[in-house]
Amino acid sequence: MECKDFEPSIIQDKRILQLCRRLNKFTIDEIATISEIPADNLLAILNELISKNKLSLENNVYSYQKKQKVSDKYSIFKYYPKATIDVILKCFCESIITTKVSHILSIGEPQVQKFYTIFRTLIYDKQKKLLDNYYLNNPQNARHRRFFDKKVYLYFYDGQVFISKNLLKSKNDKPLTTKDKADFTTIYCYISRSLTHNQNVHNLEYKIAETLWRRGKDFKSLYSNLYNLIN
């Protein structure tokens, strides 16, 4: 399969997705050889497919992901009408606390909390998949930080901060540039200001991922992003 440089990006992306589906499992070198596209150029396309949950990455191997509905993975979605779930989703995007959502919808607060936890899990998992791909192709030193006496591991790629529950480490880890350090510090200060209450210590990594996900987005963007994650 040959993808010419002059092809519109959307056509090239579609061809790469079709190739990923056909290969099912592959390394970046393998798909670069078959597609005749340099690995550096493929990386952005593969990152985008990971962010859309169409690919996963583990131990340097990409896997094509068949579409699995969130409602099939989490049974709680089957017990509430779509309209109710949509209100919960909107309340989450507006940072409305679970107690108020429970009162608004007349459902138990533990059920609302479960939905919120699922949303945070989806947000964390999406950014972690993207982080894994960045790290595979450009390993860097983790930024070790503490929140509420708990250590977390932060990484900085393309102007974004990512979080991992576990330390990513290789012999090829590189330090951040001076500019990236400054940009990282700006976002880290934003995280620190946002996570001031000790109730955030529970599921801390998920709360940090949520905080990063919210940064710079309005309600419409948050809702659209989360809606696409659960549908």
Domain membership flag for residue 22:
yes
The model's confidence at residue 125, banded by pLDDT at 50, 70 and 90, is very high
Report pLDDT digits (tens) over 143-198: 999 988 889 999 999 999 999 999 998 999 999 999 999 999 999 999 999 887 65
How many helices (H) and strands (E) the chain has is answered by: 10, 6
The values of phi and psi at residue 174, to 5°, are -115, 150
* 47 in the same domain as 145: no
* 212 in the same domain as 135: yes
Residue ranges of alpha helices (H) inside 39-108 are 39-51, 70-73, 82-93, 98-105
The domain of 91 spans 70-230
Count CB atoms within 10 A of the CB of residue 195.
18
* 109 in the same domain as 189: yes
How far apart (Å, rounded) are the C-alpha atoms in residues 41 and 43?
A: 6
Report pLDDT digits (tens) over 57-66: 888 899 998 7
The answer to whether the beta carbons of residues 140 and 173 sit under 8 Å apart is yes
* 58 in the same domain as 95: no
* 168 in the same domain as 54: no
Angle value at C-alpha 155, between 149 and 158, nearest 5 degrees: 145
The confidence score (pLDDT) of residue 58 equals 85
Which of 41, 64, 87 delimits the end of a domain?
64
The model's confidence at residue 13, banded by pLDDT at 50, 70 and 90, is confident
Which of 64, 83, 99 delimits the end of a domain?
64
The answer to whether the beta carbons of residues 2 and 43 sit under 8 Å apart is no
The confidence score (pLDDT) of residue 199 equals 67
Domain membership flag for residue 2:
no
